[in-house]
Every structure is written in C-alpha cells, then in structure tokens.
C-alpha cells in the first residue's frame, strides 16, 4: 500500500476530487493548509502592492493499493495542473498495514 500526499491549489480541488472519483478513489482526507513556496503572491490595496509569502492550499492524504499508485498520481497531476508556479507537490510513502476498525480486518482489502 502507498500513502499519497498531495498539496494542491484550492481552486483545483473540485477538479482533482472529481477526477479521483472517476478512477475509483472514493475515500481520502483533506485539510486546508497554509505554506511557503516559490510562488510570489501579491495584493494591491489602494494602489499599493503588498506581497504575501503565505500561500493557501489544500492537502490531500490518500492511501491506495500498490496497483493504484501510478493512476492516482497521474490523475492528480492532470486535474491539478495549471502550468503555473505553485501548482503543488506530491509525496509518496510506503504503508505497512491498514486495519478496518469496525471488523478488525487487516490489509489492502480495508481500502475498499
């Protein structure tokens, strides 16, 4: 099993969510997060430009069986990309095991 963590633009969340549902990834967690990155955002207020270094993003945490890793990553990239700096990052790590609390079931079947 793999844990895929993606940091994406908040404006692309609906597109990514719908694309993940289309490929059969129907369960994941997400949070609104603030971070620092290479994107330089600026605001203009009354003709004065203010730069901000805090960037609003959405953080997704998805656990999939090994055979779903590549399609999940590809889907996030296609649905989340704008082609501009600040589209986000994806991190992949190994998951040793998973348990379903209700039944005590163990392993990859708990993800379905």
Q: Within 10 A of 83 (CB to CB), how many other CB atoms are there?
A: 5
CA 96 to chain centre: 21
pLDDT of the residue at 36? 75
Residue 8 confidence (pLDDT):
96
Q: How many angstroms separate the CA atoms of 39 and 71, rounded? A: 27
pLDDT at 86: 83
The answer to whether residues 88 and 6 touch, using CB atoms and an 8 Å cutoff, is: yes
Q: At which residue do the structure tokens 């963590």 appear?
A: 5
pTM here is 0.84
Of 70, 65, 69, residue with least CA distance to 107: 65
* Nearest-angstrom CA–CA distance, 101 and 98: 9
Tens place of pLDDT for every residue, the chain, 112 residues? 999 999 999 999 999 999 999 999 999 999 999 887 766 666 666 666 655 556 789 999 999 999 999 999 999 999 999 998 889 999 999 999 999 999 999 998 898 8
Tell me what pLDDT residue 99 has: 95
Domains of the chain, CATH where assigned: 2-33+59-111 (3.30.70.120)
């Amino acid at each position: 099993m793999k844990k895929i963590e993606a940091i994406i633009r908040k404006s692309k969340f609906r597109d990514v969510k719908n694309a993940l549902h289309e490929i059969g990834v129907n369960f994941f967690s997400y949070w609104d997060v603030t971070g620092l990155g290479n994107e330089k955002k600026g605001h203009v207020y009354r003709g004065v430009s203010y730069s901000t270094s805090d960037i609003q993003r959405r953080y997704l945490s998805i656990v999939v069986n090994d055979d779903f890793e590549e399609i999940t990553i590809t889907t996030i990239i296609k649905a989340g990309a704008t082609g501009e700096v600040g589209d986000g990052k994806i991190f992949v790590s190994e998951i040793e095991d998973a348990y379903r609390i209700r039944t005590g079931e163990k392993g990859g079947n708990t993800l379905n």
